[in-house]
Structure 1
């Protein structure tokens, strides 16, 4: 491993879920693209390794301590203590603060230059809300607020779309999908689609594709909000009054944008072959298609932060926790993507 390999801080996520064991499984692999440090409770990780029969030696570091070169079977850890012992598959509201503390440590490490990026294992939104953290909507919004940023963009990418341009769609699963809105009730989406918001989202997406993915002139296809992209105003006027004028203005500023296009035909090989990313108007409009194309072989990235952040494309899978059957594929891709983004970002600075 080169001495300048990026340092990636991996939060271990909901302790009762599959996050801790996925991080442990990752460290049994022979080749990893960066210097890995987990953030979590070493006792939890040791117990889960013993339960699953994983031969991984834990090396506790002081918070922020320099991360050594990665070796298979050795997991450096920046420790955070559980509030109560955790058992696979059994949520405990007492540990909600623990999960948020692991995130805070990763954010601080990135701000201080102790890590070049962070990769997050899945958390459980419900247990965090039940613990009294009102308004918590997920990783993306938490990171946005922690960094004091007005807007960030959630984008998911399948494994064959992680580097440079998406190859031609000929039955492949290469796809990048960004979201104009993230974790909102559907009845609130239309009101959230404003010209100001769309402009910010598209500028962040354009800049992120250029900086982190090496696409000098990204082409973005934009979904309509309504069926048939509003059918000329007969099925909704958001396309006519909000989306189209915004796209026209940004085209005058030099962005390569297609749309607004009907979502039911945009996600077809003919349309996707010529573009680098799709902007969907709401969560399930875009992610249902992406997860059909590459669930378990995709990663989530947050664009607009001052540092790299990627994540898995799945949840805590409480029913699988502790059984050793969880698929490591998405975490592997999230780590590879974070390392690649960190290198590209450093080269662009």
Structure 2
């Protein structure tokens, strides 16, 4: 079989290795050398070469691993796994354990990728999972990738959007407690979140997306029967404003009804009010093919929709479909975004 032709016309995607004690090295070794991925982008891994050599052996990857110094060096006609070495990991770093060394390393990979993206050296970022406990132990106290990338790129506000082949979900709040989430939700935040989701889907090729907006309480409050009028106070004004602007927005809807209708094809996007309201249905419907897209950054960023999977890290048994799909979506978004590298 002929090797994919990595011509300059393909978008360059910076891929962070994630927490080196997790499954990140393994999913990267497999996905970044697949013919399907190499047909749509020029991936360059930001990480650790010895770790990737080990991961490639675990995953049965036979393509060579080649060190490069800059993303521009990925042009060529080979199927090598191109890696930019950042820092140096201990040779005996164990898989499957929380480590401050691994947490700090994961941070440095993201920091380097963000710099390449903001400097337009790459068209997008795709991230393997990090471990929040390890990240904090390494001295970097962020709730997750979303907030970390917002900090590194200077984005004032971003949203997490989960995408599967059958469902797109954007979150008004994410990594905060439920009581804090309800307190934080207000009409301007809801409106900005929905607008970011609409913009993301339009850039992905969906004209005038149809949006379903979840309520906060059971049955979306059922006209004040449940809760304290949060739907009328915090959500309805945002929907009214967006309707006045001509957007196709529906709600507030009971969350169980909204997700049922979306999987039936009635909505292009569901707006979840808090983390588990959106994550639960997505992970039931398709975690292996799910992709996390950070909306509102000045750069394109996609990610796998799963964690570091410490229980199977280092065994070579992880499923890599989500990483491949993250790269494919990053390439698609990059092609549709003016000014990307």
Deviations 1:181-210 (A, max 9, x none): 111111211001111211211121121111
Give the count of matched residue pairs.
Answer: 332
1:170 equivalent in structure 2: none
2:98 equivalent in structure 1: 91
1:119 equivalent in structure 2: 126
Deviation at 1:231, TM superposition (A): 1.3
SS of the residue corresponding to residue 96 of structure 2 reads coil
**CA distance in 1 between partners of 2:149 and 2:298 (Å):** 10
1:339 equivalent in structure 2: 331
The partner residue of 1:37 within 39, 44, 57 is 44
The partner residue of 2:113 within 91, 106, 125 is 106
Is 1:178 the equivalent of 2:170?
yes
**CA distance in 1 between partners of 2:115 and 2:77 (Å):** 21
Is 1:291 the equivalent of 2:283?
yes
SS of the residue corresponding to residue 78 of structure 1 reads strand
Alignment of 1:105-184 (within 5 A): 105-134=112-141, 136-158=142-164, 160=165, 174-184=166-176
**CA distance in 2 between partners of 1:52 and 1:245 (Å):** 51
**CA distance in 2 between partners of 1:201 and 1:215 (Å):** 17
1:307 equivalent in structure 2: 299
1:16 equivalent in structure 2: 21
| Structure 2 runs not aligned, ≥5 long | none
Given that residues 10 and 118 in structure 1 are in contact (C-alpha distance below 8 angstroms), is that contact kept between their aligned partners in structure 2?
Answer: yes
**CA distance in 2 between partners of 1:100 and 1:22 (Å):** 18
**CA distance in 2 between partners of 1:64 and 1:13 (Å):** 18
The partner residue of 2:309 within 317, 325, 345 is 317
Is 1:3 the equivalent of 2:8?
yes
TM-score (ref. length: structure 1): 0.90
| Structure 1 runs not aligned, ≥5 long | 161-173
The partner residue of 1:217 within 208, 225, 246 is 208
SS of the residue corresponding to residue 297 of structure 2 reads coil
**CA distance in 2 between partners of 1:82 and 1:97 (Å):** 11
SS of the residue corresponding to residue 233 of structure 1 reads coil
SS of the residue corresponding to residue 98 of structure 1 reads helix
**CA distance in 2 between partners of 1:70 and 1:318 (Å):** 35
Change (3 A) 1:289 1:328: same
Given that residues 296 and 313 in structure 1 are in contact (C-alpha distance below 8 angstroms), is that contact kept between their aligned partners in structure 2?
Answer: yes
Is 1:240 the equivalent of 2:232?
yes
**CA distance in 2 between partners of 1:27 and 1:208 (Å):** 25
Deviation at 1:272, TM superposition (A): 4.7
Given that residues 297 and 333 in structure 1 are in contact (C-alpha distance below 8 angstroms), is that contact kept between their aligned partners in structure 2?
Answer: yes
**CA distance in 2 between partners of 1:226 and 1:299 (Å):** 27
Is 1:265 the equivalent of 2:261?
no
Change (3 A) 1:228 1:69: farther
